[in-house]
Amino acid sequence: MSRSDDRLLLANVSRRRFLMGLAGGSALVLAARWDMPLANEKAQFGAGAMPGGWVDDPNVFIHIDSDGTVTVVNNRAEMGQGIRTSLVLLAADELGADWDRVKVRQAEANQEKYGNQNTDGSRSMRHWYDPMRRAAAAARLMLEQAAANQWSVPLHEVRTDIHKVIHTPSGRELGFGELAEAARELEVPGRNDLVLKTDDELRFIGRESGYINGKLESAHPKAIDGEDIVTGKAIFGADVEVENPLYAVIARPPVYGGKVKNYDDSETLKVPGVEKTLEIEGTGQPAGFSPLGGVAVVATNTWAAIEGRRKLKIEWDNGPAGDNASYTSEAYREALEKRAQSPGRVIRDGGDVENALKQASKTVSATYYMPHMAQSPMEPMVATVVVANGEVEVWAPVQNPRATRDTVAGRLGLDREKVRVNVTLLGGGFGRKSKPDYAAEAATVAQAFEGRPVRLQWTREDDIHHAYFHAVSVDHLEAGLDDEGKAVAWRHRTLSPSIGSLFAPDPEHKGEFELGMGFNTMPFSIPAIRLENPPAPAHVRIGWFRSVYNLPHAWAIQSFAHEVSVAAGRDHRDYVLELLGPGREIHNLTVGDGWNYGEDPEMYPIDTGRMRAVVEKATEAAGWGKKLPEGRGMGLAFHHSFVSYTAIVFDVEVDDSGNVIIHRADIAFDCGRQANPERIRSQLEGACVMGIGVALMSEVTFKDGVAQQDNFDTYLLPRMPDAPKEIHIHLMDRQDEPMGGVGEPGLPPVAPALCNAIYAATGKRIRRLPVGDQLKA
């Protein structure tokens, strides 16, 4: 049985009558008496600072039918992180609902109604844990009040049990379904009147279940879309049923900023099923979320559209692309490496680094490279749009429904209210689907077919050629050591094109949020530290990729820390624990970061004690220091990101042919309070595998502005043989700490930990990613 109540996706607004859920909104006033941490809901931080903020009105999120079915509205995009399960789990637990009688309904794009819906930054759970629990607690109180009214007894004599309310003295019972209609008539209680369940009373929240490190704790972990997924019924972007659709693909300019000079579609139109071609106007640079332009081929099925595109003869004009047309990866890398030898914009400066480096008895330096990568979710970008009578309806797998709505409205010159965006399941996102360019493309094509749905499909080649690429990076580091090998100076120059180039004239320097991803927040306790950011221009669309600039920063810093420990002749773990220094809280402003992932620095300082603890946990669990066979070694890396702490140890073998065999990964993770440990583990396992791709094989290169990889035969991703033979996840028990991110923080330390392990196994130092064939012969 499907647990999804998403008939809205089928274009006919559900006629189902929700007995609760019809009332209007309630005022958002912070309660004085509230036992959950609310600092991240104040206007300047966390959920409160996000566009649309947070909403905790039970009428928005919780619906109870007369048959007792509880439907919880999920306002965030589901892309594999499990938020549709986890948010519903919170509500069901707090409400007292029977899990088997709970369904989920996906919210359409409406930030005024549902609060912030932009699903990125590993924010869904930490921003929605409190509001969703309050919404459910309010609904529970309304059910209890309805029962008390019916029995004419005082409220304190009733309590909620699973899916029912009980009059304690008499033992009388009423089911949720029986109470729903009366409960709907009641006013939503004030926040001061709500009492959240204590941890002891919770059935699901924070409870371990499912698969833990190779063993089943409990069979059948809760997964609200699980049955639909394994039976092929789950509705992803291209699976929406619409009447009589047209199918389109677009040939886009191969070089960023290029445009169509002219084209010949005579062969295209001979392909059976092809109906029409049309030129799509691009918006030039910076592209933002707008279409790149090109030529659309519209047909009666996807295959005909793809075949028709193959037969187009297009002459491109690269004039508007400027020097993007000469962008070549090897030359760009060399240019950045050269530039890294000279000082750049100073980001952080403490102590006299120049002098400390001069005085040092030993210096170490290294330059690290991380290439462009495409997010490449398994589901290529797709959107279905119908334009009729000045109104637009969109069905698409999008991380940012609001941006989708606004981008489509802007493209078609309509008011936001004229555009409805229905969010399907996302077949992966990883940041790519934060950019709704494909929805704007689909809307542009659909506009030419008034009243007829158009499904715009990206192929894999489109995805790899026209990603919003992970920024290429060069990081140059120098350290000075004293007589005893102690680090006394640390200089780090980081160079990457900025995501800022997507929205404005190229700043050529990283912005505050980019630097705040583990660069200026580097937590080592070293007397002289100087951090610089020389310029690096963008020549392609640069965009978020899971964990974003934490990837190159962690890769460089954690690789270099290992190199320094080797130069000092010290054990890596012991050395980095010394570099971290004694446990202390670093306020982000003291290291020049004004961002802190948007969170309150008082609530979320960088705590080196928690960082130390994950390092100690991962190394202990891995058996750090034990003797390994020849050709095998352990590597460590750790990183703070998205206000969570991760440490990883890999046990790696490099065989005689240079193949990397990963025997085991030990991952220690501290994200503060945990909502659904089962999905936290799955996110860390997945981040580990994705990080192995970053380390070993994934790279998009450019020649004369054109991406050189086309599909998964050349843009390589990790496969089952590349995965660790065992992944062990160690979740730190920090239920008293505020929630941190989960989806992204598992990724940044993977590549450096793996390369440090390769060094331990072989003595070969990897400074350029991916490893590729560097270990062969």
Which of 399/565 has CB closer to another protein? 399
User: Closest separation between CB of residue 116 and another protein, Å?
Assistant: 21
Q: Work out whether 1 is an interface residue with another protein (CB under 8 A).
A: no
Paired residues of 480 in beta bridges = 363, 489
Does 230 bind another protein (CB under 8 A)? Our answer is yes
Give the whole-angstrom CA distance, residue 579 versus residue 361.
18
Q: Which of 404, 457, 473, 674 binds another protein (CB under 8 A)?
A: 457
Handedness of CA 479, 480, 481, 486 (dihedral sign): negative
> Is the preceding peptide bond at 286 cis, omega within 30 degrees of 0?
yes
Q: Is 685 in the site for another protein (CB under 8 A)?
A: yes
* Given 427, 523, 672, 705, the residue binding another protein (CB under 8 A): 427
Q: Which of 442, 340, 324, 327 is nearest to 381 (CA)?
A: 442
Query: Which of 247, 316, 642, 702: binder of another protein (CB under 8 A)?
Result: 247
Residue 232 binds another protein (CB under 8 A): yes
Distances (CA, A) of 747 to 39, 207, 345, 473: 27, 24, 28, 16
* Residue 24 makes contact with another protein by CB under 8 A: no
How far is the C-alpha of 555 from the C-alpha of 283, rounded, in Å? 35
Stretch that binds another protein, among 133-141, 348-356, 455-463, 504-512 (CB under 8 A): 455-463
CA atoms within 13 Å, Cβ hemisphere of 286: 18
Least distance to another protein, CB of residue 220, Å: 5
Residue number with CB closer to another protein (178 or 379): 379
d(CA 156, CA 683): 41
Residue placing its CB nearer to another protein in the complex, 427 or 552: 427
The DSSP annotation for 84-151 comes to: HHHHHHHHHHHHT--GGGEEEEEPPS-HHHH------TT-HHHHHHHHHHHHHHHHHHHHHHHHHHHH
Task: Please list every residue from 160 through 219 that binds another protein, using CB under 8 A.
Answer: 210-211, 214, 216, 219
CB of 399 to another protein, least distance (A): 12
Cα 567 to the center of its chain, rounded Å: 36
Place of tokens 């990101």: 641
CB atoms within 10 A of CB 313: 11
Q: Is 686 helix (H, G, I), strand (E, B) or coil?
A: helix
What's the closest the beta carbon of residue 375 comes to another protein, in angstroms?
8
- Rounded least distance, CB 715 to another protein, Å: 10
Distance between CA 440 and CA 664 in Å, rounded?
A: 44
Phi, psi of 757 (to 5 degrees): -70, -40
Does 686 contact another protein by CB under 8 A?
yes
Q: Does 30 bind another protein (CB under 8 A)?
A: no
Q: Is the dihedral of CA 28, 32, 33, 39 positive or negative?
A: positive
CA distance 562 to 550: 18
449 binds another protein (CB under 8 A): no
Closer to another protein at the Cβ: 73 or 223? 223
In terms of CB distance, is 629 or 721 closer to another protein? 721
Choice from 576, 688, 700, 751 touching another protein (CB under 8 A):
688
Q: Which of 46, 48, 80, 523 binds another protein (CB under 8 A)?
A: 80
Q: Of the ranges 48-56, 134-142, 226-234, 534-542, which one interacts with another protein (CB under 8 A)?
A: 226-234
Is 235 a binding residue for another protein by CB under 8 A? The answer is yes
Interface with another protein by CB under 8 A: which range of 356-364, 424-432, 596-604, 607-615? 424-432
301 touches another protein by CB under 8 A: yes
Work out whether 690 is an interface residue with another protein (CB under 8 A): yes
Query: Is residue 460 a contact point for another protein (CB under 8 A)?
Result: yes
- Does residue 306 bind another protein (CB under 8 A)? yes
Whole-angstrom Cα Rg for the chain: 27
Q: How far is the CB of 740 from another protein (least distance, A)?
A: 19
CB of 588 to another protein, least distance (A): 30
Q: Tokens 């680090």 correspond to what residue?
A: 487
Nearest-approach distance from CB 456 to another protein, in angstroms: 13
Question: Per-residue x/- marks for another protein, 698-737, CB under 8 A?
Answer: -------------xxx---xxxxx-xx-xx----------
Segment near another protein (CB under 8 A); pick from 15-23, 320-328, 421-429, 505-513: 421-429
Q: Is 268 helix (H, G, I), strand (E, B) or coil?
A: helix
CB of 480 to another protein, least distance (A): 39
Stretch that binds another protein, among 10-18, 308-316, 576-584, 680-688 (CB under 8 A): 680-688
Q: For residues 141 and 223, which CB has a smaller minimum distance to another protein in the complex?
A: 223
d(CA 606, CA 599): 11
Cβ neighbors of 490 (< 8 A, separation 6 or more) are: 353, 477, 478, 479, 480, 522, 524, 526, 528, 529, 530
Q: Which is nearer to another protein, 104 or 603 (CB)?
A: 104
Please report how close the Cβ of residue 434 comes to another protein at its closest, in angstroms: 15
Q: Judged by CB under 8 A, does residue 31 bind another protein? A: no
Q: Residue 226 and residue 245: Cα distance in Å, rounded?
A: 28
Side chain identity at residue 87, one-letter code = L
Give the nearest distance from C-beta 744 to another protein in angstroms: 13
**Least spacing, CB of residue 240 vs another protein, in Å:** 9
* CA-CA-CA-CA torsion sign (9, 86, 641, 370): negative
Q: Please tell me whether residue 678 binds another protein under the rule CB under 8 A.
A: yes
Q: Is 225 in the site for another protein (CB under 8 A)?
A: yes
In the chain, the N- to C-terminal Cα span, in Å, equals 55
The residue (of 294 and 397) whose beta carbon lies closer to another protein is 397
Q: Which is nearer to another protein, 71 or 457 (CB)?
A: 457
Binding mask 366-385 vs another protein (x if CB under 8 A, - otherwise)?
Answer: ----------xxxxx-----
3-state secondary structure of 329: helix
Among 56, 65, 120, 239, binds another protein (CB under 8 A): 239
By CB under 8 A, the residues from 117 to 136 that bind another protein are: none
Nearer to another protein (CB atom), residue 136 or residue 238:
238
Q: How far is the CB of 148 from another protein (least distance, A)?
A: 39
Count the site residues for another protein by CB under 8 A.
69
Please, which residue, 30 or 216, has the CB nearer to another protein? 216
DSSP string, 160-212: EETTEEEETTT--EEEHHHHHHHHHTSPPPPGGG--PPPGGG-SSTT---EEE
- The answer to whether the beta carbons of residues 433 and 377 sit under 8 Å apart is yes
Taking each helix axis from N to C end, the angle separating 750-762 and 550-567, rounded to the nearest 10 degrees, works out to 30
Q: Which has the closest alpha carbon to 541: 506, 493, 569, 510?
A: 506
Q: How far is CA 510 from CA 256, 320, 347, 497, 516, in A?
A: 20, 25, 10, 7, 10
- The gap from C-alpha 168 to its chain's centroid, in whole angstroms, comes to 46
Binding site for another protein (CB under 8 A): 78-82, 210-211, 214, 216, 219-221, 223, 225-236, 238-239, 241, 247, 272, 301-303, 306, 376-380, 425-430, 457, 459-460, 678, 682-683, 685-690, 711-713, 717-721, 723-724, 726-727
